[in-house]
C-alpha cells in the first residue's frame, strides 16, 4: 500500500527556552534539539544567540525565521551603538525584536526571549511570543516544552535568587522539559549575563538529572537489552 507524503504540510517544531532574572543579572537557558516533524535535524544546536556584548536572545519556532530576525536586530544594534557611542540597552534590543516580529507577523513563526544587563536597569527579561507582543517579566518560558513548566515555575521561582540558584533552576527546568516533551532534547546550554560580563555553560545529557521513568544513559541499544556485542559472538 503506497503512502503519500505531503511535503507541503507544515512541520511540527519544538524547543524549550527559558529566561530568569536574579539578584544582579539574568540567566538564559535552552535545550539543543532542532526537529523537523519526527526527524531530529540537529541534536546539539545553539538556540541562544548574541545580539550585543550584553544582550542575548533565546530562539524558538522556525529556526530560519528566528535566525533572520536575530541577524537583522544584531545589524541594527551595531549601527545604533556606532551612532550613540555607547552600548544599546536591553529595552532597545527587545523593542527592535518586537518591531520586526510584529511588522512581519503574517510571515514569521518564531517566539523569542530577550535577556541582558545594562547599567540603567540591571538585568531584564523580555518575552516576544508569536505575533510580536512584548512583555517584560521576571522570568519567561517558551517553546513546546514550556507547557510542562508553568506550574513548576509558579512553585520554584522566587525573587532575590543568587546566580547559582537561578542557573540551577534553569538547568532543572530544561531537563524536566526534555523528560516530558518529545520535541525537546539533547544538551542544556546556559548564558549568565551581569555587570561582570557573560558566562556560557554547557551541560551534556549525562550530567542532567533523571526524572520519572527516564533511563540511564547507555552507549548503545545493545547495552539496554543486555545482548552481547555482534563482534564478540
Q: 187-201 pLDDT, tens per residue?
A: 999 999 999 999 999
Mean pLDDT of the chain: 89
Residue 1: pLDDT over 50: no
Note if 162 is an active site residue: no
Residue 160: pLDDT over 80: yes
Residue 59: pLDDT over 50: yes
Q: How many other C-beta atoms are found inside a 10 Å radius of the C-beta of residue 163?
A: 17
In angstroms, the CA 101 to CA 5 distance is: 31
Residue 10: pLDDT over 70: no
- Please give the full DSSP string across the chain, using - where no structure is assigned: ------TTSPPP----EEEEEETTEEEEEE---EEETTEEEESS---EEESSSSEEEEEEE-HHHHHHHHHHHHHHHHHHHHHHTSPPPHHHHHHHHHHHHHHTTTT--EEEEEEEEETTTEEEEEEE-TTS--EE-SEEEESGGGGGTHHHHHHH--TT--HHHHHHHHHHHHHHHHHH-TT--S-EEEEEEETTEEEEEEE-GGGSPP-TTPPPP-SSHHHHHTPPPGGG-
Confidence at residue 215, expressed as pLDDT on a 0 to 100 scale: 73
Confidence at residue 12, expressed as pLDDT on a 0 to 100 scale: 54
- Per-residue pLDDT tens digits for 203-232: 998 888 888 777 777 676 666 666 555 555
Local confidence band at 174 (pLDDT 50, 70, 90 cut-offs): very high
Residue 55: pLDDT over 90: yes
Local confidence band at 123 (pLDDT 50, 70, 90 cut-offs): very high
Q: Provide the CA 10 distance to its chain's centre, in angstroms.
A: 22
Confidence at residue 231, expressed as pLDDT on a 0 to 100 scale: 53
Confidence at residue 223, expressed as pLDDT on a 0 to 100 scale: 65
Q: Which domains does the chain have, with CATH numbers?
A: 17-232 (3.60.20.10)
In angstroms, the CA 19 to CA 98 distance is: 17
Residue 33: pLDDT over 80: yes
Tell me which of 94 and 227 has the higher pLDDT. 94
113 and 140 Cβ atoms separated by less than 8 Å: yes
In angstroms, the CA 221 to CA 55 distance is: 42
Least confident of 11-20, 160-169, 204-213, 217-226: 217-226
Local confidence band at 70 (pLDDT 50, 70, 90 cut-offs): very high
Confidence at residue 131, expressed as pLDDT on a 0 to 100 scale: 92
Confidence at residue 6, expressed as pLDDT on a 0 to 100 scale: 56
15 and 31 Cβ atoms separated by less than 8 Å: yes
Amino acid at each position: 500500500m503506497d503512502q503519500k507524503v505531503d511535503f507541503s504540510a507544515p512541520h511540527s517544531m519544538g524547543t524549550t527556552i527559558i529566561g530568569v532574572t536574579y539578584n544582579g543579572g539574568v540567566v538564559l537557558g535552552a535545550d539543543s534539539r532542532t526537529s523537523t516533524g519526527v526527524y531530529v535535524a540537529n541534536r546539539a544546536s545553539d538556540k541562544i544567540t548574541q545580539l550585543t556584548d550584553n544582550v542575548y536572545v533565546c530562539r524558538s519556532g522556525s529556526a530560519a525565521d528566528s535566525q533572520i530576525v536575530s541577524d537583522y536586530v544584531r545589524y541594527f544594534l551595531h549601527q545604533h551603538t556606532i551612532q550613540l557611542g555607547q552600548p544599546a540597552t536591553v529595552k532597545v534590543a527587545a523593542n527592535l525584536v518586537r518591531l520586526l516580529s510584529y511588522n512581519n507577523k503574517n510571515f514569521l513563526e518564531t517566539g523569542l526571549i530577550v535577556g541582558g544587563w545594562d547599567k540603567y536597569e540591571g538585568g531584564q527579561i523580555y518575552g516576544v511570543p508569536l505575533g510580536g507582543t512584548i512583555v517584560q517579566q521576571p522570568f519567561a518560558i517558551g517553546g513546546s516544552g514550556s507547557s510542562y513548566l508553568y506550574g513548576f515555575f509558579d512553585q520554584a521561582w522566587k525573587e532575590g535568587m543568587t546566580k547559582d540558584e537561578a542557573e540551577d533552576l534553569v538547568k532543572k527546568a530544561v531537563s524536566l522539559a526534555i523528560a516530558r516533551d518529545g520535541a525537546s532534547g539533547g544538551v542544556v546550554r546556559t548564558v549568565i549575563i551581569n555587570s561582570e560580563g557573560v558566562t556560557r555553560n554547557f551541560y551534556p545529557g549525562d550530567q542532567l538529572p533523571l526524572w520519572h521513568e527516564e533511563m540511564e544513559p547507555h552507549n548503545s541499544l545493545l547495552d539496554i537489552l543486555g545482548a552481547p556485542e555482534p563482534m564478540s559472538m
